[in-house]
Structure 1
Amino acid sequence: MKKFEEKTIHSERLYEGKVINLKVDDVTLPNGKQSKRELIEHPGAVAVIALTGEKKIIMVEQYRKALERSLVEIPAGKLEPGEAPEYTAMRELEEETGYSADKLEKVISFSTSPGFADEVVHVFFASGLHRAVNDAVTDDDEFVELLEVTVEEAQGMIDNERIFDAKTAYAVQWVKNYLSDKN
């Protein structure tokens, strides 16, 4: 048995969407009492830390409806059914930035909001960047602006909340450590 496991008694899917599904589970708690859990099912995502030869981080600025404002983020995207995270990472890098990478290394995977969602983000480091054959080709409903920023500029964006998501804040810290290890 898993420590503090909550056993599902009944599960009801309330919504099936393009990106997420919403369900409500009735569970038995470790103390025998019952409760409800509102849960979001997500197929998972990738995020790419792409660093140029000039030690600039490739980022994109885009509008995020959930927060009603634009954010600066590292390139990222949703896993498609049957798609390996490495493939998704390369695809998203090219689609959002117009860059391709010679090398892709797995950095970490983590849960974004385990209290209510099962989404896991797989973070990759892309090196040996070069312009892809095609320029950035975003989805029909995606509008992004490409940015190349230094670590110092990225830290300033965290401080003034232009960078406001966990994956990008993590990426900036990772690049700081990576570059300090190289010196």
Structure 2
Amino acid sequence: MIKPTYQQNDIKIHKKETCYQGFFRMSKITLQHKMFNGQWGPVISRELFQRGEAAAVLLYDPKLDVVVLTEQIRIGALNYDHPWQFEIVAGMIEPGLTPEEVAIKEAKEESGAEIQQLIPISRYLSSSGGCDEVLHVFMAEVDSSNIEGVHGVAHESEDIKITKVSSADAFAGVNSGIISNAATIIALQWLELRLLKQRHS
């Protein structure tokens, strides 16, 4: 089994400073960490973009073999090929809520889907080189026949359009690059492997 060489107690935090506080936070952290030669390394400073944790859920209709995706403009994709991104339902985890509760809440807000049962897919760091965001990704089986239209929370200026595609078209979207959101790619590749396993069992 693969095992990390060091853990949290092999890091010394000397100082934490807030560089910017808005919807997100940017911090400057001064620290030392153990080197792979066993010695303590030099004191270094690194900026950290603090987004917190988020939950995402892939909505899949097994009867129709349909994947429900959202489409909305994304600020991080303004200079990318496709500023309007195809994604699975997702939202930030607010204090006091579990990832599961947020996945259920966001599914309702962004698609109108009522879900209860969640299948865990993955928990991962989105970009650990300079961001602390953790994504909790799930799948939920739905009846997609009544999931449609434009959704979102008005006071958050959300404008979210529902797109329903076959699983084959969703997988092809990953391969072509039209689907370029990390959580969506991870969830769809997980689903592709799951369906492949079911068909060969």
Identity of aligned residues (%): 27
Count of residue correspondences: 180
More strand by share: 1
* 1:179 is the counterpart of 2:188: no
| CA deviation profile, 1:145-177 (whole Å, cap 9, x unmatched) | 101112221133223322112111111111111
TM-aligned CA distance change 1:77 to 1:160, over 3 Å: same
Equivalent of 1:155, from 171, 177, 191? 171
The corresponding residue for 1:49 is: 58
> For 1:99, what is the secondary structure of its paired residue?
coil
1:114 maps to 128
Q: Amino acid of the residue matched to residue 41 of structure 1?
A: Q
Corresponding residue of 1:28: 32
Please tell me whether the aligned partners of residues 151 and 158 of structure 2 are also in contact (alpha carbons under 8 angstroms): no
The structure having more radius of gyration, on CA atoms, is 2
Equivalent residues in 2 for 1:1-80, closer than 5 Å: 2=7, 5-18=10-23, 20-30=24-34, 31-52=40-61, 53-68=63-78, 69-80=83-94
Does the 8 Å CA contact 1:50/1:129 hold for their aligned counterparts?
no
Mind listing any 5+ residue stretches in structure 2 that lack a counterpart? 1-5, 35-39
C-alpha separation in 2, matches of 1:40 and 1:25: 11
Matched, 1:142 2:147: no
Q: After alignment, is 5-14 or 85-94 more displaced?
A: 5-14
Distance in 1, matches of 2:180 and 2:135, equals 16
Q: Give the residue type in structure 2 aligned to 1:65.
A: I
Give the TM-score taking structure 1 as reference length: 0.88
Structure 1 CA distance for aligned equivalents of residues 14 and 172 of structure 2: 48
| Whole-Å separation in 1 of the counterparts to 2:158 and 2:8 | 42
The answer to which structure has the higher helix fraction is: 2
1:167 aligns with 2:183: yes
Alpha-carbon distance in 1 for matches of 2:92, 2:85: 18
- Superposition RMSD in Å: 2.1
Unaligned runs of 5+ in 1: none
